[in-house]
Amino acid sequence: MPETFADPRIPAVERCVLRPLLERRARETPERTFARFADGTVWTYGQARAMAIRTANGLRALGVGQGDVVLAWLPNGPEVIRLWFGLNYLGAVFAPINLAYRGRLLEHVVDNAGASLIVAHADLYGRLADVKRAALARAVVVGGPAADVPGIAVHAAESLLPDDCNLPALERAIMPWDMQSIIYTSGTTGPSKGVMSSYLQLYSMGEPMQFGTADDRFMINLPMFHVGGTFPTYAMLVRGGSIVMVDAFDTARFWSDIRETGTTAVVLLGAMAGFLMKQPPRADDRDHPLRHAIIVPIGEEALALGERFGIAVWSHFNMTEISMPLVSARDPRPAGTCGRPRAGVEVRIVDAHDCEVPEGQTGELIVRADRPWAMNHGYYRNPEATAAAWRNGWFHTGDLFRADAAGNYFFVDRLKDAIRRRGENISSYEVEVEICAHAAVKEAAAVAVPSEFGEDEVLAVVALAEGASLAPAALIEFLLPRLPHFMIPRYLRFVADLPKTPTQKVQKYLLRSEGLTAEVWDREQAGIRIRREKIG
């Protein structure tokens, strides 16, 4: 296996490819802690390597080979990490599924991935009985007994932890440009797309982080189907540090968990910083080990959080498809900036024809990198979407930005119709499909409206079929088994017809500008609060 490359932009495999990287860490610092989990489990680097090898050998015994895609449907914890690492030890591809997916969203991911094997938690596995399962034929179910899903052979959870501790052989060396994962990101004009990511992309995503050493411990409070979970995990592996993996962000437990685990760094998305700032001041607000927080988006409240709790705050702009092209300085000003372009990337703000807009004006942010494979290499089994996103040799983010005279970049809005609610990207298209599945609905449009916690809430504007009637609460009840919790609209508004252009396209900008009109129904005011389902 070559350790270095003639092109100096490509790091040695022992720096960026998971298997040789973890082998090096386990060889050099076998007793150093790599991971702490919410259930009390602690892994050293040596133990992480042993878990990865045993899991890889279990997967190989189930027929998984180099380049194969395997679906992962697991909550945060030791199982999802050892599956990810075990797959990559074989040169196989880790394809995690959003834990909230069900119905058509789940069916689409299963079909697109084309995987024959899934590793799923028992609390999730039964949802497969309600969808078409494409090529899926086998499953390993962990965390409890498996539900009956016709046509799928279930293997015991123990099959992924055989006694075989021998390093599995490879057909060929794993290269930095090989596909490491497929992460499904919400669609906007169509179903979710599977982002093909190389080892070098995930490495490049963490490289611009201005802090993080072997002495740092990063709290992972976002799931493994989200780059907010995968990139800091990989960054700590690259830098020889450690992670603390929790199930999810929890305002009430946040500071006690930080203190108990010795966490020094964390990512806070969307409303998380606001939730922490709304907690009553305490005498021990600065008595904790946390030193750094990446906060996205970053505004005055986020900067105030840094001051109150005595931590350095940073921001950036990132997506599943790219590798953190914009990074801020510490405690960035002016408030709201995502930062400036990092070394090794070019960014432009352009109009609909990819022509650069004048300074200070708003346009779409497009990106390219000078390191090969530092960004996604397309959408899995979706060449049309790949070509559209990469047109003219630049990756089109679909997000509107502006830049000031000093070179600071500011996120303005989403060019596409995605909605972002509490750290989750929501496809308006997918929400609309499920609303329109109700027999009483003629058409619907889902748009973002501001949330009091930052980011967005979902407003669904619904036109009923002629002569039909539908109570708002009844529509919510209809959607509950069909959509993830975070996609269920908070607001509903019923209209006779949706506003349209002469070509019959819905004018969503009008719905957004009208916002929360007097006739809008608020399910939270009606006492209907929908919580994330706890898995495991």
Q: Give pLDDT tens digits for 470-491.
A: 999 999 999 999 999 999 999 9
The span from the CA of 314 to the CA of 340, in Å, is 12
For residue 505, name the pLDDT band (cuts at 50, 70, 90). confident
Tell me if domain 39-174 and domain 420-522 are identical in fold. Answer: no
Taking only the tens place, the pLDDT of each residue in 107-136 is: 999 999 999 999 999 999 999 999 999 999
Q: Where are the domains of the chain?
A: 39-174, 217-414, 420-522
Q: What are phi and psi of 234, to 5 degrees?
A: -70, -40
The architecture (CATH level 2) of 39-174 comes to 3-Layer(aba) Sandwich (3.40)
**Do 9 and 372 contact (CB within 8 A), yes or no?**
yes
Q: In the structure encoding, which two tokens stand for residue 511, read together? A: 């719905």
pTM of the model as a whole = 0.87
Q: Give the number of residues written for the chain.
A: 536
Taking only the tens place, the pLDDT of each residue in 365-389 is: 999 999 999 999 999 999 999 999 9
The span from the CA of 93 to the CA of 64, in Å, is 10
Lowest-pLDDT choice from 92-101, 346-355, 496-505: 496-505
The span from the CA of 137 to the CA of 139, in Å, is 7
Tell me which residue of 13, 126, 118, 115 sits closest to 381, measured CA to CA.
115
Report, as an integer, the average pLDDT of 425-438. Answer: 86
For residue 298, name the pLDDT band (cuts at 50, 70, 90). confident
**pLDDT for 167 beyond 90:** yes
pLDDT top residue among 531 and 536: 531
The span from the CA of 229 to the CA of 214, in Å, is 19
**Do 90 and 64 contact (CB within 8 A), yes or no?**
yes
User: Between 3.30.300.30, 3.40.50.1820, 1.20.1640.10, 3.40.640.10, what CATH number should domain 420-522 receive?
Assistant: 3.30.300.30
| Neighbouring residues of 73: CB distance < 8 A, sequence distance ≥ 6 | 96, 97, 99, 118, 119, 120, 121, 124, 125
Phi-psi region of 423 (alpha: psi -120 to 50; beta: other; left: phi over 0): left
The span from the CA of 211 to the CA of 231, in Å, is 14
Mean pLDDT of the chain: 93
User: Between 3.50.50.60, 3.40.50.12780, 3.90.79.10, 3.40.50.980, what CATH number should domain 217-414 receive?
Assistant: 3.40.50.12780
